[in-house]
Amino acid sequence: MYTGKLVFAQVMEYAPWHTFRRLVTKYRGDFNVRTFSCLDQFLCMAFAQLTFRESLRDIVACLRAQPTKLYHLGIRGKISRSALADANEERDWRIYRDFAQALIRTARQLYAKESIGAELNETVYALDSTTIDLCLSVFPWAPFRAKKAAIKLHTLLDVRGAIPAFIHISDGKLHDVNVLDLLMPEPGAFYVMDRGYLDFARLYALHQAGSFFVTRLKSNSQFRRLYSRPVDRATGVICDQLVELTVFYSQQGYPERLRRIRYLDSKGRWLVFLTNHLSLPSLTICDLYRLRWQVELFFKWIKQYLHIKRFYGTSENAVKTQIWIAVASYVLVAIARKRLDLRPSLYSILQILSVTPFEKVPLHQLLTETTPIEEAPNDCNQMKLF
């Protein structure tokens, strides 16, 4: 019989708690705190994410149902609805943002050699945003429209392992293209975006930093063809051209040459791609844009299987705290999956963890569906008949 740690505690072992303590000290998270520390808050909120709890009352009821196991979960403080609500309102959300980013750096190193389905050694990022609708009367700090509130989750996803490399939380009014000003371009990396990020001055800043971009061209964009390369139309690529912009302000924003690729997909849709990489095969450029769909799947995944559409608090601090702890929980499970060399998907792992947090089963055995090997009892006092 296994007498080790609880399943939830085994997952939390993959977190760098020395980094967490350093961040708590940096932002004075436990200043004047007596019983319910930032660590207790993180563990309670992470438990809520992994077990799909619906409210603060739901979290407290589930944890109080197992009072003898709370110490083994790592929770030392007294759990109450008011204590958890006050912690979400008052503890600095930047603690959990920086902690999630530390986990992201670890996860990206673990998934650095993952295949992306294209013959590239460079890093490929998919950039997009998703909107989470809110009630304006309850969340007045996040205005979006006249009678509606919302927040946007801007995400730069590393397609190797589907790990978010950059996340920015804003109100619903911030246009997607403004996020390009917040990025630190990585030389040699590919940034795959949709047409909402088509701003030639900002794209030229990526180009000057040594980065490459792949995006779609708007129908009203004007350019002049300079050269056409031979293509194999059987692959779906109709034309591969070197072009330059002709509109004055566009040309001022991006004065150099660009590459335009026209592609006909299997569903009969015409797609026109724009990139600053002039030597990569045209079909590879089309395959790169197809990888952008991973960020859409990431948004769909976290909205379905993490608790970020309904919030436990109404203040900006509480909402950002919940989102960053949700991201940290997601990345922590991804780290455990890689270090244990597990084959099940993150979805399957989360479903299993949601019903077994208080079980005392080895994590690898639980997630690989292997049965334990029972050894025969060895009683030296038992007499041998033969």
pLDDT in tens, 122-168: 889 999 999 988 888 899 998 898 888 999 999 999 988 788 889 99
Q: Which two tokens stand for residue 258?
A: 């660009």
Q: Which two tokens stand for residue 31?
A: 């200043």
For the cut 60, the answer to whether the pLDDT of residue 379 exceeds it is no
**Amino acid 381: pLDDT:** 52
pLDDT band of 385, cuts 50, 70, 90: very low
188 DSSP 8-state letter = T
User: Crossing angle for the helix pair 56-64 and 38-51, nearest 10 degrees?
Assistant: 100
Please state, in angstroms and rounded to a whole number, the distance separating the CA atoms of residues 368 and 359: 15
Measure CA 165 to chain center: 7
For the chain, give the mean pLDDT: 88
More confident residue, 9 or 384: 9
Question: Which structure tokens are listed for 331?
Answer: 């990345």
Residues 304-314, mean pLDDT to the nearest whole number = 80
Distance CA 357, CA 66 (A): 11
Question: What is residue 77's predicted lDDT score, i.e. its pLDDT?
Answer: 87
The mean pLDDT value for 321-336 works out to 92
CA–CA dist 9, 357 (Å, integer): 8
Farthest-apart Cα atoms in the chain, separation: 100
Euclidean distance between CA atoms 197 and 128, whole angstroms: 9
- The CA-to-CA distance between both ends of the chain, in Å, stands at 29
213 DSSP β-pair partners: 191
pLDDT of 314 over the 70 cut: yes
Domain 116-297, what fold? Transposase Inhibitor Protein From Tn5; Chain A, domain 1 (3.90.350)
Mean pLDDT of 16-37: 93
| Those residues with Cβ within 8 angstroms of residue 242's Cβ, 6 or more apart along the chain or in another chain | 225, 226, 227, 228, 229, 257, 258, 259, 260, 278
pLDDT at 245 over 70: yes
d(CA 238, CA 230): 9
pLDDT tens profile 331-373: 999 999 999 988 888 888 888 998 999 999 898 888 886 444 4
**8 A C-beta contact, residue 15 and residue 102:** no
pLDDT-derived band at 308 (thresholds 50, 70, 90) equals confident
**245 Cα distance to chain centroid:** 35
Q: What is the CA radius of gyration of the chain?
A: 25
The ranges assigned to domains in the chain are 7-96+313-368, 116-297
Write out the two tokens for 99. Answer: 């902690």
Helix (H/G/I), strand (E/B), else coil: 241: strand
One-letter amino acid of 257: R
pTM of the model: 0.85
What's the whole-number mean pLDDT along residues 201-227?
Answer: 92
Tell me the two tokens of residue 215: 């995006």
Q: How many CB atoms lie within 10 A of CB 371?
A: 6
Considering only CA atoms, which of 33, 30, 46 is closest in space to residue 312?
A: 46
Query: Which residue from 110, 117, 248 is spatially nearest to 192, judged by alpha carbons?
Result: 117
305 three-state secondary structure: helix
Question: Using CA atoms, how far apart are residues 130 and 73, in angstroms rounded to an integer?
Answer: 33
